[in-house]
Amino acid sequence: MINSKKALLALEDGRTYDCRSFTGSGETRGEIVFNTSMSGYQEVLTDPSYRGQMVTMTYPLIGNYGVNPEDIESDRIQVSAFLVREYQAFPSNFRADSTLGDYLKSQNIMGVEELDTRALTLHIRTGGAMRAFISTEDLNPESLVKRAREIPSMAGLDLVKVVATRTPYYWEEGKPNPCGNIALNQSVWKHRGKKRSVIAFDFGIKYNILRCLEAAGFEVLVVPADTDAETVKAMQPDGVFLSNGPGDPEPVTYAVETIRQLLGYCPMFGICLGHQLLGLALGGKTYKLKFGHRGINQPVKNLLTGRIEITSQNHGFAVDTESLNPSDFEITHINLNDNTLEGFRHRKYPVFAVQYHPEASPGPHDAQYLFDEFKRLM
């Protein structure tokens, strides 16, 4: 194959895997995780929640429908490397305008194939997500394992600052519309219609979340992660949305404090990292999962209705159920694979959150009601 180069993957625990790069020479590092989705690889690549991670796809054939400009979740590829069993270099799809390999190369992201992804996934399930290094230049196992062990741990890092927008923008007609910091200086947010107004905190927000908020009838202003509570209150929104994002929630102390100051001001809805930050703001605790939840087939039980939702998830941390005071919180959703917390709402404040991604539509519409619930609270 053109540009195919022999490569070696090394994990911090000493395990190595032979593979080949289908994007040419190079080397990269990151936390290695796996995703069980059978499709949606372009959404995975561009999801900011994967920042700094090497993603292994468990489905064996990847790249068969190419890539296109409509299925992105941010303005760039976020993963540090993309690992597959078999790469399909000749896609067949009327929407495709590029191959996966060319897409990765255009942003200097390493793509790896001929990797035993089944063995690697089983190893990660046993040993947990860990640091890893891939190289086409250094093929010495001992050297590469040493380099993997020298990678700083992602726990305790604030990755939100890396992926979040630095300036606010409106989300209109399916795309961002830059408005500059003038929007944050208005004493009252100028509503341009009769729609409910939502300020969406960008901790690494996915475009499809914004599409769903717009489809639900909201006027949406996306603001930087470090926007303070006074600025939000000055704009007088009808609701506040807390987005998904990468990494450990505990270092994002500025967001936790802002959320705490906004409690009771207006309805709040959190997804993924937003769920974890809201839990911290309300006095809860978070912890790192062994290998995380990443895929589009996670079963979640809605305790309010008894229904089972098939959900999309991408997170390595979770809120500790035992840390939440039952007199203040109502647990609304649990994961049926491991009984971890998937959703809660406050008994006093008009706030609720879920750990999974309702906008990703794996069900395909099992969780769309959450956006309607957000509107109802307003």
Question: Which listed residue (12, 219, 272, 293) is catalytic?
Answer: 272
Residues 154-167: tens digit of each pLDDT:
888 999 999 999 99
Residues 11-40: tens digit of each pLDDT:
999 999 999 999 999 999 999 999 999 999
Mean pLDDT, rounded, for 215-230: 95
In the residue annotation, 342 being an active-site residue is answered as no
Write down the CATH number for the domain with range 5-149: 3.50.30.20
Tokens of 90: 């000749």
Mean pLDDT, rounded, for 229-249: 95
The confidence band for 184, taking pLDDT boundaries of 50, 70 and 90, is: low
Residue 361 confidence (pLDDT): 76
Question: Which listed residue (12, 73, 219, 359) is catalytic?
Answer: 359
d(CA 99, CA 63): 7
Of 190 and 8, the one with more pLDDT: 8
pLDDT, averaged across the chain:
93
* Domain map (residue ranges) of the chain: 5-149, 160-377
In the residue annotation, 212 being an active-site residue is answered as no
Helix (H), strand (E) at residue 87: strand 86-87
In the residue annotation, 272 being an active-site residue is answered as yes
Adjacency order of strands within the sheet including 169-172: 175-178, 169-172, 218-223, 196-201, 239-242, 268-271, 351-354, 341-346, 329-335, 286-302, 308-319
Put simply, whether the predicted model's pTM sits higher than 0.85 gets the answer yes
Q: Do domains 5-149 and 160-377 have the same CATH topology?
A: no
Helix (H), strand (E) at residue 182: helix 182-185
Cα separations in angstroms, 276 against 25, 253, 288, 311, 356: 38, 12, 11, 17, 11
The length of the chain, given as a count of residues: 378
d(CA 218, CA 378): 11
Question: Which listed residue (123, 275, 333, 357) is catalytic?
Answer: 357
| pLDDT surpasses 90 at 251 | yes
- Under CATH, which architecture does the 160-377 domain have? 3-Layer(aba) Sandwich (3.40)
